[in-house]
A = this chain, B = another copy of it.
Amino acid sequence: MKDPIELAAALASFDALWSPRIVTRVNAYDVRIAKVSGEHLWHVHDNTDEFFLVLDGELHVALRDGAGSERTVVLPTGAVFVVPRGVEHKPSAAGGASILMFEPTGTSTVGDRHDDVPAHVDATTGHALR
């Protein structure tokens, strides 16, 4: 059994942006944390919802519906939001943010369908905390 993990210390252990660390697992789900700044990319998870909790800063999540119409939700520190499966979305954080995510183990950061992956985005299923 793992000991408790302080998120502030876990966040202080890495600098990479858009490159989630797996803090712990709950059944077949990962709890991941990430530092983010600037824009991620448009992507879709076809088979899973994706949970966001903002630990620090402000996260924007742009959402596109089936008809291509867009809106953006704003998550201040301490807000939670779930992107339902199948909904195209693009997270961003102009001023930087730290976030916690809850998603099935093996879920890719760039989803099942996505735009070209820019160099600043890590296409990964999450990295171990050191």
- Could you tell me which A residues sit within 8 Å of B by CB distance? 1-8, 23-27, 29, 31, 48-51, 53, 63, 73-76, 78-85, 87, 100, 102-104
Pairwise interchain contact A5-B80, C-beta atoms closer than 8 A:
yes
A4 touches B51 (CB 8 A): no
Q: Which residue of B lies closest to A63 (CB)?
A: B1
Rounded to whole angstroms, the CA-CA distance of A26 and B51 in the bound complex is 6
CB-defined contacts of A25 to chain B, threshold 8 Å: 49, 82
Q: Quick one: copies of this chain in the complex?
A: 2
Is A1 a contact of B31 with CB atoms below 8 Å?
Answer: no
Select which of B3, B80, B87 is within 8 A of A31 by beta carbon: B80
Q: A74 CA to B6 CA in the complex, in Å?
A: 11
